[in-house]
């Protein structure tokens, strides 16, 4: 079954860290760039980060640059997002998403998301 | 950063009628434009990529057009399941950016 399943979200205090995971199955994970996209409650979609198929290329949105780190383990078909120095503005559902075709950065497969709530 | 502006913010249309949603980019994105549908509590669903190519399994009542800075998503005859929020997304330049969304509601 082709799917992405995120985990690792939860309630965390400002300034703390979390590691989000996204387990992929049903497709050749190592052949696609992977992304994180987030959505604050009641708001629109915000692209967060991308990692190339072999991990060689990484880009970040301005709001998370320097605080978030994207990585992947192709042997485990898993994508990660290390989120540090969290603020209430980082509260959102975090989706992992697969690029539609090699180096074409639209998203044809999304996970159900994991909710990160930053609150004291 | 390329700013994507969608209009209108909310569109009220009766079932069976046509809906036209607009998306404008602050600079050219060529044809690197995608459209997504999101229903409450659900994950976004890819509808259109390359400005006009329907994704797998998307009904042909959905069509996309445009290039450069002006894009349109047309739903030819609205079904009850089409009432949702629609987002455009450019993937021509980093960072990838989304429009703020258009809410399509039943009139």
pLDDT 10s digits, A25-77: 999 999 999 999 999 999 999 999 999 999 989 999 999 999 999 999 999 99
The candidate with the shortest Cα–Cα distance to B43, out of A52, A6, A10, A13, is A6
Nearest to B101 among A44, A107, A111 (CB): A44
DSSP state letter for A88: G
- Note whether A45 contacts B96, CB cutoff 8 Å: no
Given this model, what pLDDT does residue B18 score? 97
Q: How far apart are CA B52 and CA A66, in angstroms?
A: 36
- Is A27 at the interface with chain B, CB within 8 A? no
Given this model, what pLDDT does residue A101 score? 87
Given this model, what pLDDT does residue A103 score? 78
pLDDT 10s digits, B6-43: 999 999 999 999 999 999 999 999 999 999 999 999 99
pLDDT bin (cut points 50, 70, 90) of residue A102 is confident
Angle at B43 between CA B93 and CA B92, to 5 degrees: 10
For A103, the token pair is 């180096």
- Residue % of chain A over a pLDDT of 70: 100
Given this model, what pLDDT does residue A35 score? 97
pLDDT 10s digits, B48-75: 999 999 999 999 999 999 999 999 999 9
Tell me which chain A residues have a C-beta less than 8 angstroms from the C-beta of B98.
44-47
Given this model, what pLDDT does residue A104 score? 87
Q: How far apart are CA B86 and CA A20, in angstroms?
A: 27
pLDDT bin (cut points 50, 70, 90) of residue A85 is very high
The alpha carbon dihedral of A108, B102, B3, A63 has a sign of negative
Examine the pLDDT at B93 and tell me if it is beyond 90: yes
- Note whether B46 contacts A107, CB cutoff 8 Å: yes
């Amino acid at each position: 079954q082709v799917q992405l399943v995120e985990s690792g979200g939860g309630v965390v205090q400002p300034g703390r860290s979390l590691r989000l995971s996204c387990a992929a199955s049903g497709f050749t994970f190592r052949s696609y760039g992977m992304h994180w996209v987030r959505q604050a409650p009641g708001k629109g979609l915000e692209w967060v980060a991308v990692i190339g198929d072999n991990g060689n290329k990484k880009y970040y949105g301005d709001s998370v640059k320097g605080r978030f780190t994207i990585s992947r383990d192709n042997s485990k078909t898993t994508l990660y997002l290390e989120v540090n120095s969290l603020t209430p503005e980082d509260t959102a559902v975090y989706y992992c998403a697969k690029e539609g075709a090699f180096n074409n950065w639209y998203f044809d497969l999304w996970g159900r998301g994991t909710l990160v709530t930053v609150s004291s | 950063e390329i700013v994507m502006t969608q209009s209108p913010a909310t569109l009220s249309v009766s079932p069976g009628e046509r809906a036209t949603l607009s998306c404008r980019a602050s600079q050219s994105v060529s044809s690197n434009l995608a459209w997504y549908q999101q229903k409450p509590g659900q994950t976004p669903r890819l509808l259109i990529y390359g400005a006009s190519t329907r994704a797998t399994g998307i009904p042909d009542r959905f069509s996309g057009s445009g290039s450069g800075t002006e894009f349109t998503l047309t739903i030819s005859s609205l079904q009850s399941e089409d009432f949702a929020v629609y987002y455009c997304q450019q993937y021509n330049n980093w960072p990838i950016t989304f429009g703020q969304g258009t809410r399509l509601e039943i009139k």
